[in-house]
Structure 1
Amino acid sequence: MTRITAEVPAETASLVEELARSRGITGAEFVAEAVQRVAEHEAEFRAFVQEGVDAADRGDVVPHADVMIKLDEMIARHRARCA
């Protein structure tokens, strides 16, 4: 384990403690879990973006005009169902 220290507004610290108490865990456990979740989410997002960059580098893309045609078709179908 590694310890991380960060300054947060008093309101945030109070909220963390309140939420941790409601879950029956310590504030430190709550923060550790929150940091882990955010870090994992950011890593997943970075990987997702990299997939797009790699696809574009390979030329594996759909032209903008083709995308707009498909979107216009989808919008028209939706409007027809709602009418």
Structure 2
Amino acid sequence: MEFVPQSDAPPALTDRAAGLVLIRDGTGYRGYEAGRQLLSQFRLCAPLAVAMATPPVRALGTRLYAAAAPARTRSLGSETD
């Protein structure tokens, strides 16, 4: 696993509003799905990642992430100030 700044990510994935961005096996993931994919890489967190993939949990998680991401960028002093 390699962490890189968002400025080094492919242009199609450099949406700061998306929050977390992950590229795994050449596929880009944003937001909630990026978090789920990241958790799936850790053996202890894999069951949680599987639960996060179920339709009701994914729907709720996506909505919660979308609501929390703007607050996160405001608190960090990003370009949304």
TM-score of the pair, normalised by structure 2: 0.31
Greater percentage in strand: 2
Greater length-normalized contact order (CA 8 Å, ≥ 6 residues apart): 2
Which of structures 1 and 2 has the bigger CA Rg? 1
TM-score of the pair, normalised by structure 1: 0.30
